[in-house]
Every structure is written in C-alpha cells, then in structure tokens.
A and B are shown apart, each in its own frame.
Chain A
Amino acid sequence: MIASLSIIWALTLKELRIESRNRDVAVAIVMFASLVIAIFAIAIEPNARTALETGPGVLWAAITFAGVVGMTRATSHELENDAVGALMLAPVSRDLVFIGKSLGSFVFLTIATLIVFVVFTFMFNLQIFHAEILVVALLSVIGFASVGTLFSSLTFRVRAREVLLPMLFLPSIAPLLFAAIRVTSVSVAGEPWSASLPWIQLAVVYDVVFVTASALLFGYVLDD
C-alpha cells in the first residue's frame, strides 16, 4: 500500500513538476476559458435575467473546451521523445500509472477551474461560489481528469489526435456536463440544496462508473 502510494505520488509529482516548468496546460485552460467567457459576455451583454439563463451553460462550456485544449497540451509532454515509454517500461501496474496521471490532471484542472470561476463571476456578475456548485465542480473535475487521461492515452499514437480527443471526450462527459450546468442553474437561481441533489447524485454515479472503467481500460489502451 505504501509502495503504491509512493509510486502514485512520484507520478503526480512528475506531472506537477513538468507543468510548473512550462505552465502551458494551466495557462492554456485559463486563457481559453477566459476568452470563451469574455466573447459570450460581449455578445450577450448579460443583465440579471440573461446572466441567470445563459451563464451556467457558458461557464461549463468554457471549462469543458478549455479542458480539452489543456489535455491535448499535456499529451504532448508524453509524446516528446516517446517519454511515455519510460512509464510503460517501469515494473508497475498500469492502474497506478493511471491514478498518478489522473491526479496530476486533477490538480491542474482544479486550479484552472477556480480561476475560471473568478473570471466568470467578474464577467457575468453572478455569485457562483456556492457549496453545491463547488461540490459538483469537484466531481466534474474528477470525471474530466480520469476520462481525459484515458482518452488522451488512447489517442497518443493517432495522427489526428487533436480532432479525435474532443470527439471521444465530449460525448463521454455529457452526463457530467449536464449535471454541472443544472446544479449551477438551480443554485444561482436561489433554489435550495434539495433541488441540486439529484444532479449531484448523477455526478457521483458518473464518477464511480467512469473512473473505474477508465482505470480498468487504461492498461489496454497504453499498449500498442
């Protein structure tokens, strides 16, 4: 158990170290999401009513598309010098590699999402730092990180991976995206926790199913 944790920590630390030296994944996510939010804010010119109607969709669309951009960037580190081969040569279970890589993505996505939340609050003048929104955001980031890690690994050796990754990733995270948008909508509308609960439950079920499935499939997709 301790050996597994040290392996996971080494892999997560590797992801964080590479990102801290480039900052291209987090910067790509924050810049892309901020631009999307800014474009919509300029186009909609949100007032109190339109911000409530369109804001949640804009927020999560921005985070989702920015997440795809970030994952594509993260994949490039693994492809340079065929670096991912070092992980494949290591005498460790592919499950641990998956957990380590997913945790790294989870950290970037969490930081980027919090920054995007601040940008969104400023642009749409909507208070979204509610407990239920933060919970669904956490669940969404867990799902995005694990499914994103699986699909970015699946597209490692595909020539058109920049196209294929969103085509696989976006439909797969649709339930999670839907839950996040619904929770954000009911929460900013001032509805009670109970209105958000079914969507949070959906996000929990999604994470349990998809994180498990991604971990099980990762070993197969990593092999040639």
Chain B
Amino acid sequence: MNAVTKRFGAATVLDKVDLTIAAGSFTVIRGANGSGKSTLLRIAATLTSPTEGQISINGVDALRHSADARREIGAVMHSPMLYSDLTIRENLALFATLCQLENPHDRVEAAASRLRLEARMDERVRGLSHGYRKRVAIARSIIHTPNLLLLDEPETGLDESSLEVMLQIVEEWRSSGRSVLMATHGSDFAKSAPDVAYTMTAGRLESFESS
C-alpha cells in the first residue's frame, strides 16, 4: 500500500498509510476501535476503494485489476458474509465455484475439515452460532489457498479450539511463504509472535516493531 488515504465526507479515516507485507510474514495491526484498522483491511480486500493511493498485491494493481487481485486474497471480516438460507456446504461451494477452482468439491471438504465443520455441513447458516459462522468464514477464506490472508479481529466469537486452529492456519501460511495481515484491538491472539506489529492511531500507522 502506498500513501493510501480514505475519507468519508469530512472525516479522514486513513491518512497516507504506507504498508508493505513481506512474503511469508505475519503482520499484526493493533489499535483501538475506530482507529481505521477495519477500513485498511477492507481496502486491502478490495471491498472499499481508497480516496487516494495505490495498492498492489503480489504485483497486481488492486485498483485496476481488482478481480485478479482478489485471487491472491482470502479475508475474514467483522461480519461473516454468508447467506443465511444456504447451508455451510452451499456457501463454501458457491465461493469455490466463483474462484473457478479445480475439484471444488474436494476443496470444500478440505476447508471444512480443517475448521471441523464436517458434522454440520448441510445445516443452514441461519441456525449457526456466531462462533460457527466465523469458522465457516475462515474456511471460505482459505478455500482457494490465497497468498495473503486478511483477518479482521478473527478471535471474536471463537472458542479455544477454533482459536487453536486459527493459529495453526496462520503458522501454516507463514511457513509456506504466504502472508497474513491481522487487525486486532490487542488480544492474546495478537501476541502470538507476529513478525511485524504496527499500532494504528487515528488513521495512521504509528509505531513499528519487528521480531
């Protein structure tokens, strides 16, 4: 990200943010509610356009070629982004089809198995708890093995065992040369040895720590 600014009316939510995520790194952005973390991740996920600035993901200009850039991204945002009247299987299969994956059925089963969703695959999302919905969202985010995993406060609503799985996925992504960018307001999960940690205050990435 290069000099990314986002304004909503008169309010500047992100102010000339520069951010580079190295391949195989786990980057954490900590910050209070309203500091701009979620907006930053939404922009990185191409869900929101920046007012100014450039974004490149694995060499792809995310503003000009957003569909190609999205192939490189998996995202777990605040809301689960699932269709309530579709089953877990149908939600995952829809995304796998949209990603034009080979053997989508196998990819759905593999992602579901990873998040221990097998037993409830044919249940509609409407009947699932918040934590379960989050697990489905995480399964969807890894189904196409993206190079960049964006996690916006992924720990919210997850139980201990799901958090454990989430940490394993982060570790796996890091060790396989892919990257993870996580926003959090400072939970234990964020202390799980990130390679780089930033603090965001009022739309600016202020401090920087590298392990």
A residues with a Cβ closer than 8 A to B are 3, 6-7, 10-11, 14, 17-18, 21-22, 77, 80-94, 223-224
Q: Residues of B contacting A87 with CB < 8 Å?
A: 98
A76 smallest CB distance to B (angstroms): 10
Bound Cα distance A137, B18 (Å): 54
Closest to A92 in B: B98
Q: List 13 A-B contacts (CB under 8 A).
A: A7-B97, A17-B90, A21-B124, A22-B85, A77-B84, A86-B91, A86-B94, A88-B46, A89-B70, A89-B95, A91-B68, A224-B42, A224-B47
Q: Residues of B contacting A90 with CB < 8 Å?
A: 70, 95, 98-99
Cβ 8 A contact of B98, one of A80, A81, A91: A91
Evaluate contact between A82 and B81: CB separation under 8 angstroms: yes
Q: Residues of A contacting B210 with CB < 8 Å?
A: none
Evaluate contact between A80 and B71: CB separation under 8 angstroms: no
1/0 per position for B62-81, CB-CB distance to A under 8 A? 00000111110101010111
Please count the residue pairs between chain A and chain B whose beta carbons lie under 8 angstroms apart in the complex.
93
Closest to A6 in B: B97
Known: A22-B85, A92-B98. 16 other contacts (CB 8 A): A7-B98, A81-B83, A82-B79, A85-B47, A85-B77, A85-B79, A86-B82, A86-B95, A87-B98, A89-B70, A89-B81, A91-B69, A91-B70, A91-B98, A91-B144, A223-B48
Closest to A19 in B: B85
Decide yes or no whether B33 CB sits under 8 A from chain A. no
Interface size, B (range): 35 or more
A22 smallest CB distance to B (angstroms): 6
B residues with a Cβ closer than 8 A to A are 42, 45-49, 67-71, 73, 75, 77, 79-86, 90-91, 94-95, 97-100, 124-125, 133, 140, 144
Evaluate contact between A91 and B86: CB separation under 8 angstroms: no
A81-B82, A91-B71 known; A10 vs B98 contact (CB < 8 Å): yes
Closest to B97 in A: A10
Q: Residues of A contacting B82 with CB < 8 Å?
A: 81, 83, 86
Evaluate contact between B67 and A86: CB separation under 8 angstroms: no
Evaluate contact between B68 and A89: CB separation under 8 angstroms: no
A157 smallest CB distance to B (angstroms): 11
A84 smallest CB distance to B (angstroms): 8
Bound Cα distance A87, B91 (Å): 11
Q: Residues of B contacting A223 with CB < 8 Å?
A: 47-49
A91-B70, A92-B67, A223-B49 known; A86 vs B79 contact (CB < 8 Å): no
Bound Cα distance A3, B96 (Å): 12
| Closest 4 A/B residue pairs (Cβ) | A85-B81, A90-B98, A82-B79, A91-B71
Closest to A13 in B: B94
